[in-house]
């Protein structure tokens, strides 16, 4: 026992010596960077000739990390009780840096960057949502201040231009819209991605346990910080930590992140940086890109996806050679797989690997040859313009979305007429297999409830959580996939439409699936968030009742699911519609709530349908159903018959 303690002590002393920790009076000062700067640069990070530290360049889906090469000592373990690094007070520290985020185009804004203090330079970070710092797994001993230019609902971002303090997670402990105070205390907003230099100061006072973050577009430091947070960092910091910066651009996004100068001090004030003496990043020469941005601004009022599509067509006409990498393809950020890789992975698109048929193509199961990752590959039926349009829409739309209840698009491939989209593989297939026609496996109530809540939160994200409104247009059981943990994940975005918040949807060809199609659609031709709500209502009903929205083989009075549910409700026997396969084993209060919600979503009048936000609040028990939405005639749930009795029977669609 004693000898092993001794051994460990010697061993850690050796480690301690070998890491060459800097003393507690560390001062770093880089008014610009050069090759002799002691930084470990990872992935896309690099030092440009003019002395700017580049974290990312304009490419989509990349990460850059730059850490000071040797660890910094943040604690004195010999003052802590037992020499461990988990206790002991963190020294005060202070840092100042100037940065610049240059978006290539407002339509392609990348994620942001962080100043980070981490236990290792070897971070397994993911390139997209996670700012080049985190991955999907929980982390420990990570301190970061984020400068974020995308609102990611998953990590509860407040907006798409904020500064936040992140301890062990990208869910900020505190965050604020980027801004600075003048001396009179007046607050001014500041755009992080303006392409102009911004100065930032981060100061931690270990006596007061305060952490201040201040930003400004000017030389002098505002007296009042933007964020002032009381926190004891001793549980977050190890004795020795690496300091530096991380950034990521994200799928489809073209922006770049630069650090112009940096100073850092332990137990002292970081030296100030003279903005005017710092190097500036070269503004990008735009050659072929101009045509794209002109193109996009011309069509700015129209849909992003359509413009990319048109651009694609334009180039398709110009370049007929199928294997040439075309500009429009490069613009479409997600990973581009090689055709060989996918062909091999799906065993030459073997019929045996087919997982299903969608409206627009076949879906194969596959395995990536090197990483052995399981994937699903959608092969879009060729020689249709429609096919190409859906392909581009889907990559341009879902490729930029991030939500745990959406099927993640991993990449794509195109060879001639062959259009392939690669998704995460969903181990448990689509929801319809668990509901209708004597399913092999029956989902219990908890599982059904989890699926409904998951899909609802995905739809709320599409409608309100992204910088544009995304209308899915094909919400139905066969487009809901179940992952390994039976979470419901919405997939198949081939029919999705994207438009700006606040704009009026345009009239388009009516698409969708009978039984999920809102009755106003054939009349107005306008897909809206409430037509998605209508389809989601049908989905909720079928999950609870275990049958399709329109069952041709059923008795006439039971043919249309919503009418049948409504009839039973009026008879006071609402729960008689619950799936008999559950054998009575379900939460009656919750089932009744979901059924009522489903009926409300099926209202013929779009305005009477709840919003996805209300639905999510209701499913989470934050608001009640009956109190919040009265029946269309103003009574309580009583007289709404006329409004949705018409629903399915009057509907015809080609």
Ligand X SMILES: *[C@@H]1O[C@H](CO)[C@@H](O)[C@H](O)[C@H]1NC(C)=O
Residues forming the active site: 474
CB of 167 or CB of 625, closer to ligand X: 167
What whole-number distance in Å separates Cα of residue 631 and Cα of residue 432? Answer: 30
- CA-only gyration radius of the chain, Å: 28
The contact set with ligand X (CB under 6 A) reads: 23-24, 30, 34, 36-38, 76, 78-79, 122, 159, 167-169, 171, 173, 177, 189, 203, 205, 210, 212, 224-225, 228, 231
Q: State the Cα torsion 465-471-477-481 to the nearest 10°.
A: -50
Ligand-binding annotation for 378, yes or no, is: yes
Residue with Cβ nearer ligand X (231 or 641): 231
39 or 452, CB closer to ligand X?
39
Q: How far is the CB of 126 from ligand X (least distance, A)?
A: 15
For residues 190 and 176, the answer to whether their CB atoms sit within 8 Å is no
- Min dist CB 171 to ligand X, Å, is 5
Give me the least distance between CB of 172 and ligand X, in Å please.
7
Spatial CA neighbour of 544 closest among 626, 455, 635, 448: 448
H or E element at residue 315: helix 304-318
Q: How far is the CB of 30 from ligand X (least distance, A)?
A: 5
Q: Which C-beta is closer to ligand X: that of 30 or that of 99?
A: 30
CA distances from 222 to 180, 186, 216 (A): 7, 11, 7
With CA atoms as reference, report the closest residue to 94 among 121, 72, 119: 72
Q: Output 187 or 327, the one with its CB closest to ligand X.
A: 187
Neighbouring residues of 526: CB distance < 8 A, sequence distance ≥ 6: 505, 506, 507, 508, 520
> Which lies closer to ligand X via its Cβ, residue 122 or residue 384?
122
Q: What share of the chain is helix, strand, coil (3-state, %, to 5)?
A: 30, 25, 50
Distance CA 590, CA 624 (A): 11
Decide if 138 contacts 124 (C-beta within 8 A): no
Close Cβ partners of 353 (under 8 Å, ≥ 6 residues apart):
346, 347, 364, 365, 366
Residue among 564, 531, 532 at smallest CA distance from 546: 564
Q: How far is the CB of 397 from ligand X (least distance, A)?
A: 25
User: In terms of CB distance, is 167 or 521 closer to ligand X?
Assistant: 167
User: Is 328:311 a contact under the CB 8 Å cutoff?
Assistant: yes
> Exposure string (b/e) for 285-313, b if CB count within 10 Å is 16 or more?
eeeebeebeebbeebeeebbbbbbbbbbe
- Rounded CA-CA distance 269/273 in Å is 12
> Least distance to ligand X from the beta carbon of 79, Å?
5
Least separation in angstroms between CB 652 and ligand X: 46
Binding residues for ATP: 378
Binding residues: 378
């Amino acid at each position: 026992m004693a000898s092993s303690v001794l051994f460990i002590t010697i061993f850690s002393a050796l480690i301690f010596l070998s890491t060459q920790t800097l003393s507690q009076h560390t001062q770093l000062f880089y008014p610009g960077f050069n090759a002799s700067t002691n930084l470990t640069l990872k992935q896309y990070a690099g030092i440009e000739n003019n002395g700017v530290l580049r974290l990312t360049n304009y490419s989509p889906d990349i990460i850059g990390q730059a850490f000071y090469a040797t660890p910094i000592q943040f604690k004195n373990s010999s003052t802590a009780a037992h020499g461990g690094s988990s206790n002991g007070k963190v020294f005060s520290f202070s840092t100042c840096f100037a940065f610049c985020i240059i978006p290539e185009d407002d339509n392609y804004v990348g994620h942001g960057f962080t100043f980070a203090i981490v236990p290792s330079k070897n971070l397994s970070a993911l390139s997209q949502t996670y700012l080049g710092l985190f991955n999907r797994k929980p982390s420990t001993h990570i301190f970061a201040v984020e400068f974020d230019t995308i609102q990611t609902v998953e990590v509860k971002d407040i907006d798409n231009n904020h500064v936040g303090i992140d301890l062990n997670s990208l869910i900020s402990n505190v965050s604020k819209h980027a801004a600075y105070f003048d001396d009179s205390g007046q607050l001014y907003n500041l755009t992080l991605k303006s392409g102009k230099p911004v100065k930032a100061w981060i100061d931690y006072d270990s006596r007061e346990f305060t952490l201040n973050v201040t930003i400004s577009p000017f030389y002098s430091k505002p007296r009042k910080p933007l964020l002032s947070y009381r926190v004891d960092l001793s549980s977050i910091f190890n004795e020795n930590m690496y300091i530096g910066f991380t950034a990521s651009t994200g799928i489809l996004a073209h922006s770049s992140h630069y650090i112009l100068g940096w100073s850092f001090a332990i137990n002292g004030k970081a030296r100030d940086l003279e903005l005017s003496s710092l190097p500036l990043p070269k503004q990008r020469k735009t050659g072929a890109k101009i045509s794209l941005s002109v193109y996009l601004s011309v069509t700015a009022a129209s849909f992003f996806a359509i413009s990319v599509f048109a651009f694609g067509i334009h180039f398709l006409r110009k370049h007929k050679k199928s294997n040439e990498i075309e500009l429009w393809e490069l613009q479409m950020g997600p990973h581009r797989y090689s055709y060989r890789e996918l062909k091999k992975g799906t065993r030459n698109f073997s019929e045996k690997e087919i997982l299903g048929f969608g409206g627009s193509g076949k879906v194969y199961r596959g395995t990536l040859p090197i990483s052995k990752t399981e994937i699903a590959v959608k092969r879009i039926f060729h020689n249709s313009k429609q096919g190409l349009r859906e392909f581009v829409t889907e990559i341009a739309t879902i490729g930029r979305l991030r939500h745990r209840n959406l099927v993640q698009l991993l990449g794509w491939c195109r060879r001639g007429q062959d259009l392939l989209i690669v998704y995460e593989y969903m181990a448990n297939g689509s929801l319809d297999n668990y509901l209708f026609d004597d399913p092999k496996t029956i989902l219990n109530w908890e599982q059904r409830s989890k699926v409904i809540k998951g899909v609802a939160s995905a739809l709320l994200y599409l409608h309100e959580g992204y910088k544009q409104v995304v209308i899915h247009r094909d919400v139905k059981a066969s487009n809901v996939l179940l992952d390994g943990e039976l979470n419901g994940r919405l997939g198949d975005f081939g029919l999705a439409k994207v438009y700006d918040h606040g704009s009026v949807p345009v009239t388009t060809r009516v698409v969708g699936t009978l039984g999920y199609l809102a009755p106003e659609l054939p009349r107005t031709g306008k897909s809206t968030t409430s037509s998605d709500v209508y389809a989601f209502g049908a989905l909720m009903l079928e999950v609870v009742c275990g049958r399709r929205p329109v069952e041709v083989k059923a008795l006439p009075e039971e043919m249309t699911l919503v009418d049948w549910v409504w009839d039973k409700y009026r008879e006071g026997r609402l729960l008689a519609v619950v799936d008999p396969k559950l054998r009575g084993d379900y939460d009656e209060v919750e089932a009744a709530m979901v059924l009522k919600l489903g009926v409300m979503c099926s209202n013929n009048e779009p305005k009477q349908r709840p919003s996805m936000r209300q639905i999510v609040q209701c499913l989470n028990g934050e608001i009640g159903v009956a109190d919040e939405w009265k029946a269309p005639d103003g009574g309580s749930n009583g007289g709404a018959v006329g409004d949705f009795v018409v629903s399915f029977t009057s509907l015809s669609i080609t």
